[in-house]
Amino acid sequence: MSLDSSSSALHLNLPPSSSSQSRPPTQITIHPSVVASILTHHTRRPDTDAPRVMGALMGQRSESGAEVDVRSCFAVPHSENAEQIALDMPFQQSMVELMNRNGVKEQVVGWYATSPELNAYSALIQNYFSNETAPFPAVHITVDTTLTASGEGLGVKGWVSTALGLSPKPENCAFLPVPVTIKYSDSERPALDLLVAPQPNPSPALPPLQSLSSSLAQLSALIDSAQTYVQAVNAGTTAPDVSVGRYLLEGVGRWSATGAEDEGGVREGVQDTLTVEYLANLVRSQVELSSRLALLQQGQ
């Protein structure tokens, strides 16, 4: 699912060939915490007139280099004005070294900036980061932080650069767009659900059955709407859609085939679960007793 408005570019995922050394990546996946971090850095910038802030991206690459997974990022102080641009290089290098020490296996894969424009300064920084990520090409992510009234904006775009011109000069390069998608794992899903829930945000420490009950409510609502649709089609009021009908048929068929003989399994499962529950309570009371006894012993 692309994070940006759809572009008219066509991205081809060519199969890896044996001669591909540093093929430019064709797909960038980004973790939502990275985007949140970039946006926070933008709001925290000390000089609110500066159009953009920059930082480095860390992540992992796939085997052939075709897919880049951006997992974390950090900000790098920089200053730019009409004549020159300066990026704090020792800062960036020491941050990379610190990040390497904290146990997560990530490497520098590129850099980000929070304005949608790409100019000559971007080319210079891209060149510097390409030296850092050699022999792989550096990836550049731009986040558009202007929120226009029409609801556009916050587009996250990815770029790679290719050299341009007859002689390779660092300020000459062309940025090619690369599609960017959000990637998150299953255990992060509940957190994302919590964050996008309507205000006020529910507390993140709800008892476990809450999600089960809300899921059941959602499911029953969906079944209701599907039912009204089917009834409407049968009564002839809605034009039938063949693909929807096939989808429903497939879904219902799959469910009815597996639901029949689960009775015995449920009964055995209940016995096991009850035993585990009893054991858990036993262990807990033992631990509590022993800790209080330890206190008592010394008091004598």
Partner 1 sequence: MTSMAAALAASLPAPTQQRVATPQPAAPTKVPQRMEGVVDVEAAREVETVQLNSLVLLKIMKHSTDQLPPPPAATYQQDRNAPPPTNLSSHPDAVGVLLGLDLDGVMEVEDSFALPSGETSLGANSYSSNLLSHLRDVSTPDSPIGIYLSTHNGGFITRAAVDLLVAIERAAGRGKAILVIHDASRASGGDLSVKAYRLSEGARASAKSKKWDTAALVENHITPATLLTSIPVTVSSPSLINAFLTSLTTSPSASEQPSLTSPSVPLPPSFSALSDPLGQSLPAYLSDTLDALTLQSHEANNIAFLSRQIAREKVRHEQSIRDRDEENLRRRKGGLPELPAIPAEMRNGTKDPSRLELLCLQGQVDGLAKGMGAEAGKGLVRCYL
Strands 107-113 and 139-143: parallel
Output the smallest distance, CB 68 to partner 1, in A: 16
Report the residue number, 16 or 278, with the smaller CB distance to partner 1: 278
Report the residue number, 164 or 206, with the smaller CB distance to partner 1: 206
Report the residue number, 120 or 216, with the smaller CB distance to partner 1: 216
Instruction: Tell me the residue type at 158.
Output: G
Output the smallest distance, CB 56 to partner 1, in A: 11
Are 145 and 153 in contact by the 8 Å Cβ rule? The answer is: yes
Report the residue number, 20 or 281, with the smaller CB distance to partner 1: 281
Report the residue number, 22 or 201, with the smaller CB distance to partner 1: 201
Output the smallest distance, CB 55 to partner 1, in A: 8
Output the smallest distance, CB 153 to partner 1, in A: 8
Four-residue CA torsion sign, 225, 230, 231, 232: positive
Report the residue number, 235 or 293, with the smaller CB distance to partner 1: 293
Angle of CA points 166, 167, 171, to nearest 5°: 110
Residues 6+ apart with CB under 8 A from 201: 194, 195
- State how far the alpha carbon of 179 is from the alpha carbons of 44, 90, 132, 156, 270, in Å: 28, 31, 23, 9, 49
Residue carrying structure tokens 């490497």:
107
Report the residue number, 155 or 170, with the smaller CB distance to partner 1: 155
> Radius of gyration over alpha carbons of the chain, in Å?
28
Angle of CA points 148, 149, 155, to nearest 5°: 35
- State how far the alpha carbon of 151 is from the alpha carbons of 5, 137, 145, 198, 298, in Å: 11, 33, 12, 18, 68
